[in-house]
Amino acid sequence: AIGLHLHMQPDVVEAAVVEPVENPKTLGTSLTDGYDILVSNYNYKDMKQMLEWSIDTFEQKGLGTPTMFRAGGWFANEDTLRAVNDTGFNLDSSGRTLYSFGQNKIVGHWSLETTTQPYQLNHKDQNNQTNPTMRLWEFPNNGADSWAFSTVDMITRFEDNYPTTELSERRLLTYLSHPEWFDTDQPKMDALFNHLSEFTYQNDNGPVVYVTLEDAYNI
């Protein structure tokens, strides 16, 4: 399966024939190309148009059809998610714990737990896990990410989901990393996976198995 990850650089937005909406910004990086413009600045209509343009562009370039989505900076709101649902995506992975981002401390739209498991979304409340109204599944980034979190933080997320030596139900933990920052992220991820190897089914040490989001969705 193919994933689509969008930040709202104005040249990309204009290519999709949408008027750029540049404020508010998180102003949390040294990048000046629009990386810090919020995905959730855009309404349902404009977001749907950008997603349709993205799908068409992928197909024109021979890249296949994306079926998974993650919003830049995790800034997906209900309009974003309805547009993702209505353009045929199977799952979103923008969900996470409550957070603020950048120098402006913009508060995100999510308030999930470290133990939140995949759920189908509600178009009026993206954090509502019990009353689905959309086909779209949310696979939250509940394992945190190696850009903003330490190895200890990510291991703690694992321990939140595997607190004892026995599991009574299947649990999914989704981690995120950025290859362009592997000079700092890779040591964190190596340490994390070294720890997880102590609990892998493959080594007969526990229940941990590694799957892709596509695998998890099919399960």
137 pLDDT above the threshold of 90: yes
Please, which residues have CB within 8 angstroms of residue 179's CB and are 6 or more apart in sequence?
185
Cα gap 21→19, rounded to integer Å: 6
Per-residue pLDDT at 19: 96
* pLDDT tens digits for range 111-135: 999 999 999 999 999 999 999 999 9
Per-residue pLDDT at 164: 80
Per-residue pLDDT at 29: 62
Chain centroid, CA 16 distance in Å: 22
Average pLDDT, whole number, for the chain? 94
Burial profile 53-85: b = 16 or more Cβ within 10 angstroms, e = fewer: bbbeeeeeeeeeebbbbbbbbbbbbbbbbbbbb
99 pLDDT above the threshold of 80: yes
Are 10 and 22 a contacting pair, CB within 8 Å? yes
* pLDDT tens digits for range 148-181: 999 999 999 999 999 887 788 899 999 999 888 7
Q: Compute the average pLDDT of residues 171-195.
A: 92
Q: How many CB atoms lie within 10 A of CB 211?
A: 12
Are 177 and 139 a contacting pair, CB within 8 Å? no
Cα gap 39→77, rounded to integer Å: 8
Cα gap 35→73, rounded to integer Å: 9
Per-residue pLDDT at 82: 98
Could you tell me what percentage of the chain is helix, strand and coil, using 3-state DSSP and rounding each to the nearest 5? 35, 10, 55
Q: How many CB atoms lie within 10 A of CB 111?
A: 14
Structure tokens at 22: 């540049």
**Which of 21-30, 81-90, 201-210 tops mean pLDDT?**
81-90
Cα gap 121→82, rounded to integer Å: 9
Cα gap 173→91, rounded to integer Å: 15
Task: Tell which residue, 122, 127, 99, has the closest CA to residue 112.
Answer: 127
* pLDDT tens digits for range 28-50: 666 667 888 999 999 999 999 99
Are 109 and 122 a contacting pair, CB within 8 Å? no
